[in-house]
């Protein structure tokens, strides 16, 4: 089991590596292409869109064609797209290649979870998923540190060369180490109309939508943080790429703390209680971030509430997922796909807004994460709370 957890965990971290590894290079990319912070952040938006849309497509394809073949094709495309990013001649093509890269990376996220569902059930599945989540959460810790390490001896292109090598490695692991886990007699017939009906039914479920939005909007706030902090830490506070990576990784630790807290204490404290606590913590932290940004406070005064904000994301996302899936066993795949899609779509919207006022202010970040916290809170109280109060 341990070897499979590591392999599937590496596939699930492909998203964080694709998103986070090039973050320390944002200022260098701006200078290289003679462009703006918002356009470079748009390359992150394109990647998020690819990751979100790709989960819907690749999840369905893997149910029809098995797990290995879609993963083999996706890892091949990922490696090629990563290499194309490294040699993109302008920011426009970099944005386009990042979309393709994100779309291909989504297969690693959704298919790794599908393989787990194929192999385990009941308590064994719960145990396996908890281990998979622990490995997956290491991605945001390792990726920016690895990116800054590469930048210490290479240019921003070296980051994408490294991602190219990672793609080829995962392609080889898929070819020689991963066996097919979905036999042909268990595969679904492709039925596009029925899939659309499932999504429509879910979107008419008021309580499901409430939990989905509470989770998705909060995670969108994290993407704003991911997009904005490279410029805030390095341009405003003068942090080196190494210091930026350390600060960024510390918030990865807070994400792990938040998610593991829910997992270990859920038998004593309900998921709904944790969800509400996480929403209030995020609201308080975002108010503090906006205050520090407005007053141009010191770096440590900004880092502390951001640490709390990311911890709140770990709490809310871990608590909201089982609540949203509680009554969706008859279409769990479609429900999981929507829960995976919404955060990336919303994150794609808010990411470029962080740089709308330029590279010399952190106020837009504070405003955006405060807005996401408030809207997530409203989604819970207006849509999800009836379910919470009914028990």
- How would DSSP label each residue in 35-87? --HHHHHHHHHHHHHHHHHHHHHHHHHHHHH-SHHHHHHHHHHHHHHHHHHHT
- Whether residue 82 is found in the same domain as residue 155: yes
Give the distance, in angstroms, between the CA of residue 280 and the centroid of all CA atoms in the same chain: 21
Contact 128, 77 (CB under 8 A): no
- Whether residue 123 is found in the same domain as residue 242: no
Between 194 and 76, name the one with better pLDDT. 76
Report pLDDT for 1: 63
- Whether residue 177 is found in the same domain as residue 238: no
- Whether residue 64 is found in the same domain as residue 197: no
**What pTM does this model have?**
0.71
Domain boundary among 130, 160, 183: 183
Q: How many domains does the chain have?
A: 2
Report pLDDT for 308: 94
- Whether residue 132 is found in the same domain as residue 252: no
For residues 216, 222, 224, 225, the Cα torsion angle rounded to the nearest 10 degrees is: 170
Cβ neighbours for 337, distance < 8 A, ≥ 6 positions apart: 55, 56, 59, 60, 110
Report pLDDT for 169: 95
Report pLDDT for 320: 82
The C-alpha angle 238, 24, 50, rounded to 5 degrees, equals: 140
Please report, rounded to a whole number, the percentage of residues in the chain having pLDDT higher than 70.
Answer: 88
- Whether residue 244 is found in the same domain as residue 338: yes
- Whether residue 13 is found in the same domain as residue 92: yes
- Whether residue 231 is found in the same domain as residue 168: no
Confidence check: pLDDT of 390 > 80: no
Domain boundary among 155, 183, 211: 183
How far is the CA of 141 from the CAs of 17, 249, 319, 371, 384, in angstroms? 9, 4, 22, 26, 32
Residue with tokens 């709370």: 385
Which range has the top average pLDDT, 16-20, 21-25, 80-84, 383-387?
Answer: 80-84
Confidence check: pLDDT of 202 > 70: yes
Report pLDDT for 38: 80
Element (H, E) at 183: none
Domain boundary among 183, 211, 235: 183
Q: Which of 316-320, 360-364, 384-388 has the lowest mean pLDDT?
A: 384-388
Q: Which of 69-83, 275-289, 308-322 has the lowest mean pLDDT?
A: 308-322
Determine the 3-state secondary structure of 189 from DSSP.
coil
- Whether residue 276 is found in the same domain as residue 345: yes
Report pLDDT for 10: 87
- Whether residue 117 is found in the same domain as residue 179: yes
pLDDT tens track for 108-150: 888 887 787 777 764 465 556 666 766 776 776 688 778 888 9
- Whether residue 250 is found in the same domain as residue 371: yes
Mean pLDDT of 283-304: 92
Which CATH number do you get for residue 155? 1.20.1250.20
pLDDT tens track for 13-44: 888 899 888 888 888 899 889 888 888 889 98
Contact 145, 101 (CB under 8 A): no
Q: Supply the range of the domain harboring residue 91.
A: 1-183
- Whether residue 205 is found in the same domain as residue 157: no
């Amino acid at each position: 089991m341990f070897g499979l957890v590591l392999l599937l965990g590496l596939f699930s971290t492909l998203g964080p590596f694709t998103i986070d590894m090039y973050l320390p290079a944002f200022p260098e990319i701006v200078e290289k292409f003679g462009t703006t912070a918002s356009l470079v952040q748009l390359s992150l938006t394109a990647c998020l869109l690819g990751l979100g849309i790709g989960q819907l497509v690749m999840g369905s394809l893997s149910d029809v064609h098995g797990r290995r073949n879609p993963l083999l094709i996706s890892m091949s495309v990922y490696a090629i797209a990563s290499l194309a990013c490294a040699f993109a001649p302008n920011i426009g093509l970099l944005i386009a290649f990042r979309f393709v890269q994100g779309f291909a990376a989504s297969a690693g996220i959704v298919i790794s979870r599908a393989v787990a569902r194929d192999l385990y059930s009941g308590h064994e599945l719960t145990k396996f998923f908890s281990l998979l989540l622990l490995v997956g959460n290491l991605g945001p810790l390792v990726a920016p540190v690895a990116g800054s390490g590469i930048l210490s001896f290479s240019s921003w292109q070296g980051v994408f060369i490294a991602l190219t090598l990672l793609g080829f490695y995962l392609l080889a692991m898929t070819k020689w180490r991963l066996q097919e886990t979905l036999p042909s007699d268990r595969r679904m017939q492709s039925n596009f109309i029925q899939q659309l009906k499932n999504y429509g039914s879910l979107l008419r479920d008021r309580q499901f939508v409430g939990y989905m939005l509470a989770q998705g909007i909060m995670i969108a706030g994290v993407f704003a943080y991911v997009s904005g902090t490279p410029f805030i830490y390095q341009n405003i506070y003068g942090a080196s790429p190494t210091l930026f990576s350390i600060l960024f990784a510390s918030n990865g630790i807070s994400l792990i703390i938040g998610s593991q807290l829910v997992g270990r204490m859920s038998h004593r404290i309900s998921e709904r209680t944790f969800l509400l606590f996480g929403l209030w913590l995020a609201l308080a932290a975002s108010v503090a971030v906006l205050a520090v940004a407005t007053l141009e406070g010191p770096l440590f005064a900004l880092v502390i509430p951001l640490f709390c904000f990311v911890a709140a994301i770990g709490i809310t996302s871990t608590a909201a997922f089982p609540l949203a899936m509680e009554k969706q066993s008859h279409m769990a795949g479609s429900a999981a796909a929507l829960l995976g899609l919404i955060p990336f779509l919303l994150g794609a919207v808010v990411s470029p807004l962080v740089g709308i006022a330029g590279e010399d202010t952190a106020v837009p970040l504070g405003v955006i994460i405060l807005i996401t916290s408030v809207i997530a809170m409203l989604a819970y109280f207006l849509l999800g709370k009836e379910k919470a109060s009914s028990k």
